[in-house]
Amino acid sequence: MDKIFPSKWIHRSSKPLQLNENYQKLEISYLFDGRNCQMTEMLERSGTTGILVVKNDTIVYEKYFQGNTQNAKNNSWSVAKSFVSALVGIAIADRYISSVNDPITKYLPELAQTGYRDVPIKHILQMSSGVKFSEDYLDNSSDINNLLPQIFLQMRPIKKVALDFPSESPSGKKFHYISLDTQILGMLIERATGKSVSAYLQTKLWEPLGAESEAFWSTDNYNTELSFCCLNATLRDYAKFGLLYLHNGYFNGKQLVPADWIKESIVPDSPHLQVGATDARDYGSWGHQYQWWIPTGSTGDYLAVGIWGQYIYINPQKNVVIVKTSTGSWTMTTKDDDEAVALFRAISQKLE
C-alpha cells in the first residue's frame, strides 16, 4: 500500500515489547450453518494472510500464508475505525474534546452547511449521523466506491469531499454504517489536538503499547489520513491493541485509554444499536457502539472488522485476542463474518 498510495509513517516504540510465546497445535473444528467445518480449510477458503492467537497475554498460535510474514504490514481496512475510536476517547481524557455530546460543528464549523450540522460526536461514533452516504461496495456508483477516484484521480482533498453530503434523517435514530463518519472523526482529532491522526496515534498508543514495528497510514494527496481505513501494521502490533482493550485500557504498565471509555465503547446504549436490532442483510443483526461490533450470540466478546476479512477479536471471558488478516477471497457477506466469529469462539473454547 505504501508503494501505491501516499502515506505517513508511524515509528516503532523506543521500548518495543515482545509478547511471551508458548505455541500450541490448533486442530479446530467448529459448527457453522449446520456443517462441521475445519479451521485449516476455512483459513484457505477465506484467503487468510495471517492469523495470530493470544491467550493469557501469550502468543499460542501464529501462522502466515500467501507470502505474508511476521514483519509485513497488513492493511486493516475498517479495523482502523476502532483505532480512531480509541483516539477520540484519549482526546476526551486529554481535555481536547469536552464531551461526546458536543456537536461536531463546535470543533469543525465548516460542517455547518453539511448533513453534520449540530450532530453530536456520539452519534457519529455510533454510525448514526443521519448523513446521506451510500456504503454499498457492490454498487460501482456508490459514494464509498467514488471516494478514491475523487481523491486520487480528481485530486480533491478528502477534507473537501467530506463537505459534499447532506442529511437524510435525524441523527441518533438509525444505524447506518458509513465510512464518512470515521473520516469526520479523524478530522475532529486533528482539529482538537493540533496533531495529525498518525502523530496522535504515535504518541498515545504506538509508543506506550511497545509496538515492535513501524506502521503507516495511507493519506490523500494533501497529507490527510484516510481515517476510515488504511492503517497498515503487523499482526503482533494489532494484537497489542486488542490486548489493550481486553485489559480495559491498561497495558504495558500504563492506563492508555480510560477504562470507562472502553466500557462505553463496546456496550450499545440505544435500542437501534442492540444485537438483533440492526438490518440482518446489511449488518447480520450485529450490535454496534463506538466503531466496535458486537456479534450475534455475544456473551461479552466483540471485534473490530475490516472488509475482505480483517479482524481483531476480543473475548474477555476466555482472555483471548485473535487477529486475522486476509486478501478478500470471501464474498463480502455478513455470513462470512458470522463464520469467522464461529471459528474464533471455537478457538477460545479449545484453549480453555
- For residue range 194-229, list pLDDT tens digits in order: 999 999 999 999 999 999 999 999 999 999 999 999
pLDDT tens-place string over residues 126-148: 999 999 999 999 899 999 999 99
Concatenate the DSSP letters of all residues of 197-226 into one string: HHHHHIIIIIHHHT--S-EEEEB-TTS-B-
Q: What is the pLDDT of residue 36?
A: 98
Q: What is the pLDDT of residue 329?
A: 66
pTM > 0.85: yes
Q: What is the pLDDT of residue 202?
A: 98
Q: What is the pLDDT of residue 265?
A: 98
CB contact at 8 A, 104 and 151: no
User: Do strands 48-55 and 74-75 pair parallel, antiparallel, or not at all (unpaired)?
Assistant: unpaired
pLDDT tens-place string over residues 35-47: 999 999 999 999 9
pLDDT tens-place string over residues 90-107: 999 999 999 999 999 999
Q: What is the pLDDT of residue 333?
A: 80
CB contact at 8 A, 137 and 95: no
pLDDT at 351 over 90: yes
pLDDT at 64 over 70: yes
Q: What is the mean pLDDT of residues 172-196?
A: 98
Q: What is the pLDDT of residue 331?
A: 60
pLDDT tens-place string over residues 240-292: 999 999 999 999 999 999 999 999 999 999 999 999 999 999 999 999 999 99
pLDDT tens-place string over residues 108-130: 999 999 999 999 999 999 999 99
pLDDT tens-place string over residues 160-179: 999 999 999 999 999 999 99
pLDDT at 30 over 70: yes
Fold of 7-350: Beta-lactamase (3.40.710)
Cell of 89: 476517547
Cα torsion at 142, 146, 148, 151 (round to 10°)? -140
Q: What is the pLDDT of residue 127?
A: 98
pLDDT at 352 over 90: no
115: enclosing H helix or E strand: none
Q: What is the pLDDT of residue 328?
A: 75
Query: Which residue's entry shows cell 442492540?
Result: 274
**CA distances from residue 184 to 18, 91, 179, 198, 282 in whole angstroms, order as listed:** 34, 15, 9, 15, 22
306 DSSP β-pair partners: 310
Q: What is the mean pLDDT of residues 82-90?
A: 99
